[in-house]
Amino acid sequence: VTGQDPNASIVYQNERICIFKDIRPAAEQHLLAVPKYHLDDVRSLTSAERPLLEEMRKELGNVLKDQFQIDPAEALFGFHVPPFTTVKHLHMHGMGPVGSMGFLSRMIFRPNSMWFNTDQAILNRIPAVSQDETGSQ
């Protein structure tokens, strides 16, 4: 994330997020999107982070499509759910095509299981940003 790890393969970044290749790919292309500020995991998310998650999903899809010619509709996006996390920093997986995933990877990244939830399932649990939070009247 800091750009100092010579083994990190950063494929996209902006002022809020960084996207890089997973060192243990579960599919033909397996990327991770992380915020540039610390969030422990999906349990720490509030409505204030909803736009961040939406941006992470959008940019993961764009990178898969633009850099790797993978249709986002054929990809899987989501998060491991505590206690089934190995890294104590929020990160969204984006991988595809799903058909390139082996049996074990399909189990580890089984959508909406006890240990892995899709981005949409996580977003559905986070309240929408209220007008009070956006400063709108």
Q: Which residues are catalytic?
A: 91
- Sort strands 17-21 and 10-13 into parallel, antiparallel or unpaired: antiparallel
Tokens linked to 30: 């397996």
Q: Is the dihedral of CA 64, 65, 66, 68 positive or negative?
A: positive
- How many alpha carbons fall within 13 Å on the CB side of residue 115? 10
